[in-house]
Amino acid sequence: MSLQFVSSLSAVPRETGGEFGGALLGEPANGAVPAWPAQRIFAPMLGSTTPFLYETWLTTLPVQAGRDEEIDWRRTDGVLYGVLEMDESDFLGAPDCSPLQAASAEAYRRIFRLLDAQGIPHLWRVWNYLADINLETGGLERYRQFNIGRQDAFLGSHRGATGNVPAACAIGLAGGSLNIAFMAGITPAVPVENPRQVSAYNYPTDYGPRSPTFSRAALVYPAEQEILFISGTASIVGHQTVHPGDVVGQCRESMANIAAVVDAANRRCRSPVFSLHALCYRVYVRHAGDFHKVRDTLQSLVGEAEVVYVQADICRHDLLLEIEAFASHALES
Ligand code: 3EB
């Protein structure tokens, strides 16, 4: 059975039909901007033979396109993909909060308004990128400012901020706007947590005044298909960073976390079980010089699985890498 949604990697933008949305990864140079909604992730690729990589979601279903709430989107009957960039300087006058917090809250409010207007209410997966993620301004780290704005928007839009929340990543880039892409559906996601980790939405206030709003993974259901989205996963056990300063140890611990999340997802999934060797991975490495160690460690754990490596910052200063993944299976109709 052919899948209705598949992801494809290419060195040039695909425009052969069926493009739904995706990402452009690479240095902020001359990468062609595709016609479809593309999240521009300006982060150096590591170990890549091309300076850019286009990750494109393709669909066999009819697609509608639009731009509302300053969000570029495409949708089928049941699934919507959107991208928005927010300029923090538009929020300099926000009362009692940082421009980033205000921009983050506004970004999520726009996403929720679009999803309500389109009748596709369930946020499945969100990709968040922001500049200087570990920088402290006004006494609070920027990632923590982002978390306040994001949680405010979930609560203000009458969506809970615990339990039924999307899979996500939140990654630091060298510059650029607050940049958010998302996939949403007409059916709810099945959230999956990790028994080795405190749920991020229950983190204690040591990690910021408001907890991050994401689940460790989500099982989602386009028609006749099951996709497992595994959120950004790091070397955290309970709620604490483990193996500070040890990138190989962090890589192994992150994969132990992903293995635990895959086990938890496999207890709920409707298709044949997911396997670590058959996931597609994206790895964010804080220090480019750690790339070879990370690649060798990961290869020993997942073999020939497809892995894309980029240099980027992680949301805690003591984390040296973060790994996200997904896989897609056909369902028996
Ligand atoms: C962690 O487990 C690592 O704020 O959306 C991973 C995935 C992390 C998503 C987010 C943060 C986020 O807390 C950081």
Alpha carbon of 71 to ligand 1 centroid (Å): 23
**Atom of ligand 1 at shortest distance to CA of 315?**
14
Q: Are strands 321-330 and 307-311 parallel, antiparallel or unpaired?
A: unpaired
Give the burial class of 119: count Cβ atoms within 10 A of its Cβ; 0-12 exposed, 13-18 middle, 19 or more buried.
exposed
Atom of ligand 1 nearest to the CA of 216: 7
Q: What was the pLDDT predicted at 27? A: 80
* Ligand 1 near 168 CB (within 6 A): yes
User: What is the full DSSP assignment across 254-292?
Assistant: HHHHHHHHHHHHHTT-SSSPP-GGG-EEEEEESSGGGHH
In this structure, the strands spanning 280-285 and 225-233 are unpaired
Query: Does ligand 1 come within 6 angstroms of the Cβ of 236?
Result: yes
pLDDT at 95: 85
In ligand 1, which atom is closest to the CA atom of 128?
5
Residue 207 has a pLDDT of 97
Asked if 9 and 54 count as a contact pair (C-beta separation under 8 A), the reply is: yes
Between the CA of 137 and the centroid of ligand 1 the distance, in Å, is 20
Q: What is the pLDDT of residue 134?
A: 98
pTM above 0.85, yes or no: yes
Q: Residue 109 C-alpha to ligand 1 middle, in angstroms?
A: 20
Q: What is the pLDDT of residue 79?
A: 97
Q: Which residues, in sequence order, are CB contacts of 178 under 8 Å at separation 6+?
A: 85, 86, 87, 88, 100, 103, 104, 107, 128, 129, 130, 131, 146
CA of 319, closest atom in ligand 1: 3
Spell out the per-residue pLDDT of the chain, length 333, in tens. 578 888 989 888 888 889 999 999 998 656 788 999 999 999 999 999 888 899 999 999 999 999 999 999 999 999 999 999 999 999 998 888 999 999 999 999 999 999 999 999 999 999 999 999 999 999 999 999 999 999 999 999 999 999 999 999 999 999 999 999 999 999 999 999 999 999 999 999 999 999 999 999 999 999 899 999 999 999 999 999 999 999 999 999 999 999 999 999 999 999 899 999 999 999 999 999 999 999 999 999 999 899 999 999 999 999 999 999 999 999 986
The pick from 142, 169, 230 for probing ligand 1's pocket by mutation, whose C-beta has the most ligand atoms within 8 angstroms, reads 169
Task: Write down all domains in the chain, each with its CATH number in brackets.
Answer: 4-330 (3.30.1330.40)
Q: Say if ligand 1 is within 6 A of residue 323 CB.
A: no
Burial (CB count within 10 angstroms: exposed 0-12, middle 13-18, buried 19+), residue 286: buried
Handedness of CA 102, 107, 112, 114 (dihedral sign): positive
Q: Is the CB of 46 under 6 A from ligand 1?
A: no
Give me ligand 1 centre to Cα 210, in Å. 13
Q: What is the pLDDT of residue 33?
A: 84
| pLDDT attached to residue 29 | 56
**Ligand 1 atom closest to residue 146's alpha carbon, by position in its atom list:** 4
Give the model's pLDDT for residue 151. 98
322 in active site? yes
Residue 161's pLDDT is what? 97
Handedness of CA 74, 230, 160, 110 (dihedral sign): negative
> What is the pLDDT, as a whole number, of residue 203?
98
- C-alpha torsion sign, points 269, 270, 271, 272: positive
Residue 231 CB less than 6 A away from ligand 1: yes
**Cross-strand partners of 182:** 82, 126
Distance from the alpha carbon of residue 168 to the mean position of ligand 1, in angstroms = 7
The rounded distance, in Å, linking the Cα atoms of 35 and 20 is: 10
The active-site residue, picked from 306, 322, 324, 332, is: 322
Please choose from 231, 253, 283 the residue to mutate so as to test ligand 1's pocket, defined by most ligand atoms within 8 A of CB.
231
CA of residue 77 to ligand 1 center, whole Å: 30
Position 327 scores a pLDDT of 97
